[in-house]
Copies of this chain bind each other. A is one copy, B any other.
């Protein structure tokens, strides 16, 4: 369901958070679906339960899941969070484009990249 990329420079817990955010926002995981238990996911991904715990705590803090003690973690209704997430992405996009324009990359080039980017990987 989820895959950790060890070449990725970001911390593991952050990768886990982002993966689940995407799954939830795309509707693959739906409100009140049960999340994998901390222990199970830790075994499955071969990472420490504490790291999963931290990722889940962060997802809860951001409103993507809720915890029922003794029962597990469950997906929240986070449809209202999509807007915020889109804005985060747009901000990152703008920031990179600014860097790009600074070294003379043109709007046309960027658009070409994006259209290409959708096709392959």
Q: Which residues of A come within 8 Å of B, CB atoms?
A: 11, 18, 22, 25-26, 48, 61, 69-70, 82, 85-86, 89-90, 92-94, 96-105, 107, 110-111, 113-115, 117-118, 121
A86 near B105: Cβ-Cβ < 8 Å: yes
Count copies of this chain in the complex: 4
Query: Complex formed: what's the CA distance from A82 to B115 in Å?
Result: 22
Given contacts A111-B111, A115-B107, A118-B107, contact A89 B93 (CB under 8 A): no
Q: Are A85 and B107 in contact (CB under 8 A)?
A: no
A104 partner residues in chain B, CB cutoff 8 A:
25-26
Indicate which residue in B94, B99, B110, B111 contacts A18 across the interface (CB closer than 8 Å). Answer: B99
